[in-house]
Structures are given as structure tokens and as C-alpha cells.
Amino acid sequence: MVKYSVVIPVYNEALVIRETYRRLKRVMEQTDGPYELLFVNDGSEDETIEILKELAVKDETVKYVDFSRNFGHQIAITAGMDYASGKAIVIIDADLQDPPELILDMIDKWKEGYDVVYAKRVKRKGETMFKKVTAYLFYRVLRAATEIDIPVDTGDFRLIDRKVRDQLVYMRERSRFVRGLVSWVGFKQTAVEYEREKRFAGETKYPLKKMIRFSLDGITSFSYKPLKLASLLGFFLSASSVLGIIITLYLKLFTHSTVAGWASLFMVTLLCNGIMFMMLGVMGEYIGRIYDEVKQRPLYIVKETWGVGTQYEKVPFYME
């Protein structure tokens, strides 16, 4: 039984993984208990897994779970939490944007009695203006859209107590937004602040497409507000069309100025159709997720593990 588990999702991180290992190792050696470095290889196409194997053979604190293909960052974190056996579990990105040294501060907070210690970014270095702006907006929109209290500017870099993990493993929903789930379970939570470094090497694995998907997952899995907004918009449009009909009838019946031309008709048709399709899209986002959910497929498929127990031991209801 280890005291600390560090969960590191990796996807094509061959360029950084050795350095990440070195830095993590240095930090974890300063802690007061046995630890494990649990890498989750999310279907990397480069030499990531070979490097992991090499490290694992040399160092028994290195363990890994190797996926059968790429399942995505949030799923990789989930698997990490499933397999982690520590009393405190730290989730950290592999690219050293999250400074490993902060783990020591998190552990201090944990010892003070906090169950979740999340890292709050006060500054982001070496990221594009676009990423900064979209990230800023994303956290604010999410906060406005959802009822639960998801702290702004925090990623998945955090420490969670075993009892939080033991609750999280019961939440097998597919469109996963792990930081939301962690807020949702509650317990005593606090923050430590840090400056987000730039990536040590390699490129971001979150291109725009994945970022959008991720944001939609975040909002749809914690809020119906988009649906409510759609119906509100519907009511508003219906009300204004009644008004429009009354005005048109009045003009037609009691005055000589008939409403002119096709331009107005054309605009109304375009606008209404646009709004209608948008609402259908919003509904589609939810329906698609319901569809994913009812299929009840496993969240991920493991090809191979090293140093960890079987899936069944770790998540007892997994086979159900």
C-alpha cells in the first residue's frame, strides 16, 4: 500500500516523459511515505510506451496502464484514479506545465485536513493569446451555466483524498468533465496558487476541435441551462410573432399601406430558420450524450498494465 499516487496521463509525450519522471521523482523523494508514479498511456503513437517500459523495469515506483487506443485525456485521468492505490492521489499533466514542486504544498494542505487541493492558475506562460482568451471565457461561461461550484482557472492538476476517489469511481458517465465531478462530490476543498509554465517540449494535444468538445461536455454534463435558454428563445419568438401578426393585420385591414416587398419576409424566414436549427443543435448535443450513455460501453479498454492490480480488484462493479 503506497501513501501517494501520482497519476500522469500521457499521449505522445516521448519528448518530455523522461524529464517529467526525473522532476516528479525528485519531488516525491522529499515526501514522507512510499509513492507510485502511475502513467496512463492514452494510445500514444510515438515511443512513449517503450520509454515507460524502460523506466518501469528500472524503477519499481513506476507503474503504467496502457490503453488499447486513444480514449482522451479525461478518460485517462479516470483510469488513473481507478488504478491508483495511494491514500492521496495527485493528478498532473505530463508536459511540466504543472510544476511538480507544487505537490509538496498540496500534501501540506492535505495534512491540514483538506480532501481536495486544486491548483489555481494565476498566470499562464507560453500559451497563445487565443488559448488564454478561450480558456478565460470557458471558465466563466461554465461557472455561469452550471449550478455547482466549479472554481475558475483550475485544471485537473489537483490532489484528492482516497475517500473522494472512492466516490468518483462510482461515476461512470461517459462525457466526462473530471474537475466538475470532483467539485460535485463536495468534501473539504481548497486551492493553492501557481503560475502555469509553458510546455517543456512537444505540442499541445488539445487542438481547437478537442477544446470545443471538452467545453460542451463540461457544460452539458452539469447544466440544462442551454435547453432552458432554447425554450425561452422559443417563447420570445412566439410572442413577437403574435405581435407581428396583429400589426400586419391592422395595416392590411385598416390602412392602405400594405407591408412592402419580400425583403422583410426573407429576413424573418432566415432568422427563424437559423434559430430553429440552433435549438435543434442544442437538443442534439444532449440527445447524443444520452445515446452514448445508454450504450453502457466500458469507459476504456486496457491493453496491458504494469505494477497495478486488475481492473476488477480496483473497481469492483466494473464487470456489471
Phi, psi of 72 (to 5 degrees): 105, 150
Q: Is the dihedral of CA 130, 176, 101, 8 positive or negative?
A: negative
Name the one residue in this structure whose C-alpha cell is 485521468: 77
Residues in 15-34 that interact with ligand UDP by CB under 6 A: none
- Using rule CB under 5 A, residue 156 touches Mg ion: no
In this structure, which amino acid lies at residue 138? Answer: F
| From candidates 5, 97, 215, 220, binder to ligand UDP by CB under 6 A | 97
Give the three cell numbers for residue 251: 395595416
Among 4, 5, 6, 10, binds ligand UDP (CB under 6 A): 10
74 contact partners, CB below 8 Å, separation of at least 6: 156, 176, 177, 178, 214, 217
C-alpha cell at 14: 516521448
Binding to ligand UDP by residue 206, rule CB under 6 A? Answer: yes
94 within 8 A of 10, measured Cβ to Cβ = yes
**Which string of b and e fits 123-133 if b means at least 16 CB within 10 Å?**
ebeeeeeeeee
Of the pair 156, 161, the CB lying nearest Mg ion is at: 156
At residue 145, φ and ψ (nearest 5 deg) are: -85, -20
19-48 residues near Mg ion, rule: CB under 5 A: none
Beta-sheet pairing, 62-67 with 88-91 = unpaired
What minimum distance in Å lies between the beta carbon of 124 and Mg ion? Answer: 10
Beta carbon of residue 242, minimum distance to ligand UDP (angstroms, whole number): 47
CB of residue 174 vs ligand UDP: minimum separation in angstroms?
A: 15
Residue with cell 419580400: 262
Q: Quick one: 9 or 218, whose CB is closer to ligand UDP?
A: 9
CB of 199 to Mg ion, least distance (A): 5
Please report how close the Cβ of residue 91 comes to ligand UDP at its closest, in angstroms.
10
Q: How many residues sit in the footprint of Mg ion (CB under 5 A)?
A: 3
Site for Mg ion (CB under 5 A): which residue of 61, 78, 97, 221?
Answer: 97
Q: Does 95 bind ligand UDP (CB under 6 A)?
A: yes
Q: Which residue, 178, 281, 143, 283, is CA-closest to 224?
A: 283
Single out the segment in contact with Mg ion by CB under 5 A; choices: 13-21, 42-50, 93-101, 300-308.
93-101
Instruction: Report if residue 9 touches ligand UDP, rule: CB under 6 A.
Output: yes
CA dihedral sign of residues 70, 76, 78, 83: positive
**Which range touches ligand UDP (CB under 6 A), out of 144-152, 204-212, 217-225, 267-275?**
204-212
- Segment interacting with Mg ion (CB under 5 A) among 69-77, 92-100, 124-132, 278-286: 92-100
**Cβ contacts of residue 129 below 8 Å, gap of 6+?**
none
Contact residues: ligand UDP, CB under 6 A: 9-11, 13, 42, 70, 72-73, 76, 93-95, 97, 204-206
Contact residues: Mg ion, CB under 5 A: 93, 95, 97
